[in-house]
Amino acid sequence: MAGGGFVKLPDGSVVVALSLPCPSGDGAGTTGERVRVLVHAANRARALTRVRNLGLRAVYLRGNSEPPSPDEISAALYHPEGLVWRAVPGDETESWHPIGRLLRPRRGRAA
């Protein structure tokens, strides 16, 4: 389950913002923190599918309580993959990170 929202752009595509629990705890700090994930896609369903295909299966968007800000929209639009994240509540000076960095397993950790 996620808090979040979306913005429909003039070309018909959308930017979806989701606030999710940090799945790994390595990129955004300690386990239990939340991250803000931004996705640019043709529509809301495709945006959620992109996130679910990364292994975050229980992601749903109910309502539009936390839509992306103009700065967040720009971050998603100008990133080559259109899929970025940042710690929430985050330092506004922290840059957006590619989604692969969030999902990457920790190095030096025993299995």
- pLDDT reported for residue 24: 60
Pick from 46, 58, 45, 37: nearest CA to 100: 37
CB 59 within 8 A of CB 52: yes
The per-residue pLDDT for range 47-64, each reduced to its tens digit, is 999 989 888 777 888 889
In terms of C-beta distances under 8 Å and separation of at least 24 residues, what long-range contacts does 96-100 make, across chains too? 96/38, 97/27, 99/37, 99/54
Cα angle for residues 14, 15, 19 (degrees, 5° grid): 140
Q: Which residues of the chain have pLDDT under 70?
A: 1-2, 23-32, 88-91, 103-111
CA angle 93, 99, 103 (to 5 degrees): 115
Q: Are 44 and 6 in contact (CB under 8 A)?
A: yes
Query: Global pTM?
Result: 0.80
| Helix (H/G/I), strand (E/B), else coil: 103 | helix
